[in-house]
Chain A
Amino acid sequence: MSWKHKHLLGLESLSRQDIELILETAKSFKEVSSRDIKKVPALRGKTVVTLFFEPSTRTRISFELAAKRLSADTLNIAANVSSTSKGETLLDTARNIEAMSVDAMVVRHSLSGSVLQLAEGLKCSVVNAGDGCREHPTQALLDMFTLQEKFGRIEGLKVGIIGDILHSRVARSNIWGLTKLGAKVTVCGPATLMPRGIEAMGVDVCYDLTKVLKQSDAVIALRLQKERQQDKFLPSMREYSRLFGINQAKLNEGSDHLIVMHPGPTNRGVELSADVADGKQSVILDQVTNGVAVRMAVLYLVLGTKE
């Protein structure tokens, strides 16, 4: 098995073997973070820039730590203070940064497809840290890594994705990745936030959360943006939480081995009750830990590719 992608733009364009290679590589990198000296020289002399056009704490820090633990030099750019606010196009901004000899750019942007445009226009590697509603591949990879860790496999697992599927790049990347690795995915959420034709992506649709909890090995609860209520998708947050929020009572309907995941940040009391978020079935902090290992693997692989 060998890696031949210069960029990581999404899981739609990766094969099962590609995804398995990332997960395999991440396994060996996870150990690095538990060492006393948390550093390997794999990317010494490389420069990794994180370019975020949307607010993020977890993902940006995770990428930065991943790069640092591989001995790369890192630089973080929050784009609300960059020149894009002066009318420069995204590609122009990125090209200017690249001109300072950057090896990889980790990009988050609010527009779907924006990273594809960058990858086409840049010579350096581009890693997608979330583009609009399209993909957030490293989140899905760390979710899959966590599932594999907990269950020893992904093939045959039943995974529920709960919440605002319409606007979720996490859902889309997980659907691509999980179905490629042989999991059975059910999406569950309000009908107004269920994108038309989602079944064509190879998933089942169910509007009954309890039923999904009963049948699943794992559920991924998605963050619900508060704006969705203003956009009339939802009558109220209260009603949302009543139908699609996971609390301990609902969780008890499911199997004992059911695990609860969330990409963060969690709206406690909306998607997950506090007791569930902190409970023994929650693996939310494991996801965060694994995120660093997965992102180390991704940076290592894309920067190791000769094109």
Chain B
Amino acid sequence: MGLLIKNAIIVNADKIADKPQDILCDGGKITQIAAGIPAGKHEVIDAAGKKVLPGLIDIHTHLRQPGREDKETIETGSRAAVKGGFTSIMCMPNTNPIIDNAMVVEFIVREANRVGLCNVYPIGAITKGQQDGELTDMAELKASGCLAFSDDGKSVLNSRLFRLAMEYAKMLDVLIIEHCQDPLLTAGGVMNEGVVSTRIGLKGDPGIAETVTVARDIEIAHYLNARVHLAHMSLKRSCELIRFAKSQGIRVTAEACPHHFALTDEACSNFDTSTKVNPPLRAQEDVEAIKQAIADGTIDCIVTDHAPHTKEDKEVGFDGAPFGLIGLETSLALTITELLKPGIIDLPKLVDRMSTAPARIVGLADKGAIKQGLDADITIIDPDREWTVTQEGFVSKSKNSPFIGRKLKGLVEYTICGGKVVYKV
């Protein structure tokens, strides 16, 4: 007995279907796509009037487990993910202990399987203890389940070490994800350096801290003919550098977060610590450039950088509060509201940026599309349904969202992972 989705308007990255079809899922796979599949003994979902997308994939989250289970756990993070329409997420290694050895990877995979809501792929650290000193045992980490490596939270500042990491990762065919930020330039900045930081007297983080690292990484990728994926791009100038690199055939991919196209640094004016994020919220021209770069493919994919923090950690004032905001439950709706509805991207492009491209970048060959034989990871949405973000509405353990109170369009109705309904509105 399988799961049958009736009357599905299927949206893949290449096109939106012109007529409804039925999708049969069985044994974790999509086994048949056709009109009028008999219901038989299958569990049936009627998707009439909805849009049926390949399950969303977020390759940049922080699940905080092990170490900070008061902020989030693999279980609560998975719940937030499937509520946001995600069937696969990747979690960054800056946990405690850090994901730099097979034991931690195996713990996360085992716990994610126990929870059983969505696929969770741990990202391994590039350097042991994220200390910028020695490379991790990447081959072993890959064997235990890491598809990608990152020292997210900070750059690999030692350029020689970063070069070696990229060479080694190329040999293993795994992805290096770089958090681009030169801490010597950031120098303790807590928000974007610009007119707003000047006005309100908060210490500014200059955009060049990001762009000089972007430029360095592009140069190393060019030199080695290796791949590099640039995390959470926030600046117009970064987009220009990436566009140039791609035009030269350099193997660089990049991601951006909804908060970097839905908010500017003006949001920090009231010292709301949920607007404190790294990289910081930028200026209006950066917001416009990020939108454009998502539309033209300079930015390959949208990620959340979901970064849960407790109220206690966030209520200490802007300077002292940790960086980060939660995003899993608002990402799709922000993308629909800010990019789809204004016509900056269409629905197939949204599917590409939130499912197909991330699957391709990290090498999830059986995901990112609704096609016979692929994994039965499916997200059914109503792109027109309006809802308001509320604190109580979050299922994430943390509530640090700057979007509370905002009215958004686009609601996840069903999330199906491996042919099983894991979320229903």
* A residues apposed to B, CB below 8 Å: 12, 89-91, 111-114, 116-117, 131-135, 169, 172, 195-198, 200-201
| A111 near B199: Cβ-Cβ < 8 Å | no
| CB within 8 Å for A197 and B195 given contacts A111-B319, A111-B320, A112-B318 | yes
Please tell me which one of the listed residues A114, A132, A200 contacts residue B199 in the complex, with CB atoms under 8 A apart: A200
* 29 intermolecular pairs with C-beta atoms under 8 Å apart: A89-B315, A89-B316, A90-B317, A111-B317, A111-B318, A111-B320, A112-B200, A112-B201, A112-B202, A112-B271, A113-B202, A116-B271, A117-B317, A132-B201, A132-B202, A133-B201, A133-B203, A134-B200, A172-B199, A195-B197, A195-B204, A196-B197, A196-B198, A197-B194, A197-B195, A197-B198, A200-B198, A200-B199, A201-B198
Residue interface bits B92-105, CB-to-A below 8 A is 1, else 0:
00000000000000
- CA A116 – CA B204 in complex, angstroms? 19
- Please give me the residue from chain B that is nearest to A173 by CB atom: B201
B270 within 8 A of A: yes
B193 within 8 A of A: yes
| CB within 8 Å for A196 and B193 given contacts A113-B202, A113-B317, A132-B319 | yes
Contacts of A172 in B (CB 8 A): 199, 201
Contacts of B320 in A (CB 8 A): 111
Contacts of A200 in B (CB 8 A): 195, 198-199
- CA A169 – CA B197 in complex, angstroms? 13
Give the distance to chain A from B311, nearest Cβ to Cβ, in Å: 11
- CA A172 – CA B203 in complex, angstroms? 14
Give the distance to chain B from A132, nearest Cβ to Cβ, in Å: 5
How many CB-defined contacts (below 8 Å) exist between A and B? 59
- CA A91 – CA B194 in complex, angstroms? 29
Give the distance to chain A from B195, nearest Cβ to Cβ, in Å: 4
Give the distance to chain B from A176, nearest Cβ to Cβ, in Å: 9
- CA A89 – CA B314 in complex, angstroms? 11
| CB within 8 Å for A169 and B198 given contacts A112-B318, A113-B317, A132-B319 | no
- CA A114 – CA B320 in complex, angstroms? 11
Contacts of B200 in A (CB 8 A): 112-113, 134
- CA A134 – CA B317 in complex, angstroms? 14
Interface residues of B in 178-201 (CB under 8 A from A): 193-195, 197-201
Give the distance to chain B from A111, nearest Cβ to Cβ, in Å: 5
Q: Is the interface of B mostly helix, strand, loop or mixed?
A: loop
- CA A172 – CA B195 in complex, angstroms? 13
- CA A116 – CA B200 in complex, angstroms? 11
| A116 near B202: Cβ-Cβ < 8 Å | no
Contacts of B270 in A (CB 8 A): 116
| CB within 8 Å for A117 and B201 given contacts A90-B317, A111-B317 | no
Contacts of A195 in B (CB 8 A): 197-198, 204
- CA A91 – CA B320 in complex, angstroms? 14
- CA A113 – CA B319 in complex, angstroms? 9
- CA A198 – CA B204 in complex, angstroms? 13
| CB within 8 Å for A112 and B193 given contacts A133-B201, A134-B200, A198-B198 | no
Give the distance to chain A from B217, nearest Cβ to Cβ, in Å: 25
- CA A135 – CA B197 in complex, angstroms? 13
| B317 near A114: Cβ-Cβ < 8 Å | yes
Contacts of B319 in A (CB 8 A): 111-112, 132
- Please give me the residue from chain B that is nearest to A167 by CB atom: B201
Contacts of B204 in A (CB 8 A): 195-196
- Please give me the residue from chain B that is nearest to A116 by CB atom: B271
Contacts of B194 in A (CB 8 A): 196-197
- CA A196 – CA B197 in complex, angstroms? 8
Give the distance to chain B from A44, nearest Cβ to Cβ, in Å: 35
Give the distance to chain A from B252, nearest Cβ to Cβ, in Å: 28
Give the distance to chain A from B200, nearest Cβ to Cβ, in Å: 6
Contacts of B197 in A (CB 8 A): 195-196
Contacts of B195 in A (CB 8 A): 196-197, 200
Give the distance to chain A from B377, nearest Cβ to Cβ, in Å: 43
| CB within 8 Å for A113 and B271 given contacts A89-B315, A89-B316, A196-B193 | yes
- CA A195 – CA B199 in complex, angstroms? 9
- CA A114 – CA B317 in complex, angstroms? 6
- Please give me the residue from chain B that is nearest to A231 by CB atom: B187
Give the distance to chain A from B90, nearest Cβ to Cβ, in Å: 34
- CA A132 – CA B199 in complex, angstroms? 12
- CA A302 – CA B415 in complex, angstroms? 55
Contacts of A111 in B (CB 8 A): 317-320
- Please give me the residue from chain A that is nearest to B193 by CB atom: A196
- Please give me the residue from chain A that is nearest to B206 by CB atom: A196
| A201 near B199: Cβ-Cβ < 8 Å | yes
- Please give me the residue from chain B that is nearest to A114 by CB atom: B317
- Please give me the residue from chain B that is nearest to A197 by CB atom: B195
Interface residues of B in 295-338 (CB under 8 A from A): 315-320
Contacts of A113 in B (CB 8 A): 200-202, 271, 317-318
- CA A169 – CA B317 in complex, angstroms? 18
Contacts of A112 in B (CB 8 A): 200-202, 271, 318-319
5 A-B pairs besides A132-B319, A201-B198 with CB distance below 8 A are A116-B270, A132-B201, A132-B202, A135-B201, A195-B198
Contacts of A116 in B (CB 8 A): 270-271
Contacts of B193 in A (CB 8 A): 196
Residue interface bits B199-225, CB-to-A below 8 A is 1, else 0:
111111010000000000000000000
Give the distance to chain B from A218, nearest Cβ to Cβ, in Å: 23
- Please give me the residue from chain B that is nearest to A200 by CB atom: B195
Contacts of A201 in B (CB 8 A): 198-199
- CA A275 – CA B242 in complex, angstroms? 58
Give the distance to chain A from B220, nearest Cβ to Cβ, in Å: 28
- CA A133 – CA B318 in complex, angstroms? 13
- Please give me the residue from chain A that is nearest to B198 by CB atom: A195
- Please give me the residue from chain A that is nearest to B317 by CB atom: A111
- CA A37 – CA B40 in complex, angstroms? 98
- CA A117 – CA B316 in complex, angstroms? 10
| B271 near A117: Cβ-Cβ < 8 Å | yes
Task: From B204, B318, B320, name the one whose CB has the most chain A CB atoms within 10 angstroms.
Answer: B318
Give the distance to chain A from B264, nearest Cβ to Cβ, in Å: 13
| B202 near A133: Cβ-Cβ < 8 Å | yes
In the A-B complex, list the 4 residue pairs whose CB atoms are closest, starting with the nearest.
A133-B201, A134-B201, A113-B271, A197-B195
- CA A116 – CA B202 in complex, angstroms? 13
